[in-house]
């Protein structure tokens, strides 16, 4: 009898929510009657179940029926799929400003991370300031040429770490197999670190380096994990997968380490020990006009910009492959 009452109580709570979602979905269908064609959407879930196991192949097949522009509902997220060069040119050339912003995944709003990123930040004065700084102080041929020696050192250090770890493992009677992704990830961080901060960011032999590596590795993990709250915004407060909570914690740890880098640089500049200038110096010296751009870059935004700049732009999917010491020479060609 008690279980029956519990079931009725559960249905009593569920039915109003389901009715609200259905009515909202119906209103959304009316509002989108002028949108491009697309497959009919299921109530509440939209076209999520239509994507199948290999979404890009599904979208290609939908192109044959609906054309190069397809409108999808992924939960409560409206999605426009563009599958022709002509349509893309029309969208991004003729209507560049109208479509310059993109939807920011919820997890990338932790600690205002999106405000320091050109890739996902909203177009405006702050975005233009970031683009100007990156194009004039970071991604320029002269700056890259000056760091050629440092970048070669990163590769040499990676090979040294591999050889040392293989030798240590073999001395303990192990096979000497290693996971190349780990070392490539470290090298990538240090390559970017030398461009942005003129220093290695990660060292397997230091505590700070290991903590920073672990935190950044977790950041890329949470950023790449599909979040149901992105498709159903009413679940944002609940955070059912715990992705946002984990990102806030791990990004906070990475930002605390970045703040140590900034403090060290500030002390170097005061003492006159810093001779060459890098991207961090450009951030510290920045002064805006106070009209179309901020007067200065805040400490929080500076930490975010550094974190964005130092995060590798792609993950290395070699983690499940093991290699012997004989593969060390092959790694050089990969780099």
- What are the DSSP calls for 41-109, one per residue? PBTTTBTGGGS-SSHHHHHHHHHHHH-SEEEEEETTEEEEEE-SHHHHHIIIIITTTTT---PPPGGGG
Percent of the chain with pLDDT over 70: 80
Residue 302 main-chain phi, psi, to 5 deg: -65, -45
C-alpha span between 43 and 22 (Å, rounded): 6
Of the listed ranges 22-26, 128-132, 193-197, 206-210, the least confidently predicted one is 22-26
CATH superfamily of 125-334: Cytochrome P450 (1.10.630.10)
Tens of pLDDT, residue by residue over 143-157, are 677 777 877 888 898
- With a CB cutoff of 8 Å and minimum separation 6, the contacts of 187 are 154, 155, 157, 158, 335
Write out the DSSP string of 6-28. HHHHHHHHHHHHHHHHHHHHHHH
Task: Give the pLDDT confidence score for residue 150 in this predicted structure.
Answer: 79
Query: What DSSP state is assigned to residue 114?
Result: G
Number of H helices, E strands in the chain: 13, 4
Tens of pLDDT, residue by residue over 166-193, are 888 888 888 778 778 778 888 888 888 8
Say whether pLDDT at 322 is over 70. no
Say whether pLDDT at 244 is over 90. yes
Task: Give the pLDDT confidence score for residue 227 in this predicted structure.
Answer: 93
What angle do helix axes 180-196 and 148-171 make, rounded to 10 degrees? 150
Tokens encoding 8: 């009725």
SS3 280: helix
Of the candidates 261, 205, 242, the residue with the CA atom closest to the CA atom of residue 106: 242
Q: pTM for this one? A: 0.73
Q: Using the Cα atoms of residue 159, residue 219, residue 294 and residue 265 in order, give the sign of their dihedral.
A: negative
- Asked if 248 contacts 110 with a C-beta cutoff of 8 angstroms, the reply is yes
Q: Higher-confidence residue: 334 or 304?
A: 304
What mean pLDDT is predicted for residues 15-44?
A: 64
Of the candidates 309, 311, 306, 286, the residue with the CA atom closest to the CA atom of residue 296: 286
Question: What are the structural domain ranges in the chain?
Answer: 2-99, 125-334
Of the listed ranges 48-62, 250-264, 284-298, the least confidently predicted one is 284-298
C-alpha span between 235 and 243 (Å, rounded): 12
C-alpha span between 317 and 151 (Å, rounded): 22
C-alpha span between 335 and 318 (Å, rounded): 14
Cα angle, residue 52 at apex, residues 46 and 53 outer, rounded to 5°: 140
Tens of pLDDT, residue by residue over 35-44, are 889 999 888 8
Tens of pLDDT, residue by residue over 104-126, are 899 999 998 988 888 888 888 88
SS3 204: coil
Of the listed ranges 85-89, 130-134, 207-211, 229-233, the least confidently predicted one is 207-211
């Amino acid at each position: 009898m008690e279980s029956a009452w519990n079931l009725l109580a559960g249905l009593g709570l569920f039915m109003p929510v389901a009715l609200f979602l259905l009515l909202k979905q119906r209103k959304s269908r009316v509002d989108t009657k002028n949108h491009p064609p697309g497959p009919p959407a299921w109530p509440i879930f939209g076209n999520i179940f239509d994507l199948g196991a290999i979404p890009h192949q599904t979208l290609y097949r939908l192109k044959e029926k609906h054309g190069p522009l397809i409108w999808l509902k992924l939960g409560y997220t409206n999605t426009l799929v563009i599958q022709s060069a002509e349509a893309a040119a029309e969208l991004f050339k003729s209507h560049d400003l109208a479509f310059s912003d993109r939807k920011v995944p919820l997890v990338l709003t932790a600690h205002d991370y999106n405000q320091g990123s050109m890739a996902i930040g909203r177009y405006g004065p702050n975005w233009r300031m970031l683009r100007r700084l990156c194009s004039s102080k970071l991604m320029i041929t002269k700056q890259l040429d000056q760091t050629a020696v440092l970048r070669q050192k990163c590769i040499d250090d990676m090979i040294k770490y591999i050889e040392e770890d293989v030798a240590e493992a073999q001395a303990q009677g192990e096979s000497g197999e290693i996971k190349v992704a780990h070392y490539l990830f470290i090298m990538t961080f240090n390559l970017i670190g030398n461009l942005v901060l003129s220093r290695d960011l990660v060292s397997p032999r230091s505590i700070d380096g290991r903590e920073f590596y672990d935190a950044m590795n977790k950041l890329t993990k949470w950023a790449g994990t599909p979040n149901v709250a992105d498709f159903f915004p009413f679940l944002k407060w609940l955070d059912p997968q715990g992705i946002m909570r984990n990102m806030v914690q791990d990004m906070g740890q990475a930002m605390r380490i970045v703040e140590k880098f900034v403090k060290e640089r500030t002390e170097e500049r005061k003492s006159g020990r810093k001779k060459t200038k890098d991207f961090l110096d450009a951030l510290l010296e920045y002064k805006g006009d106070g009209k179309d751009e901020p007067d200065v870059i805040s400490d929080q935004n500076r930490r975010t910009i550094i974190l964005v700049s130092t995060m590798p732009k792609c993950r290395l999917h070699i983690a499940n492959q093991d290699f012997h010491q004989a593969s060390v020479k092959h790694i050089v060609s990969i780099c």
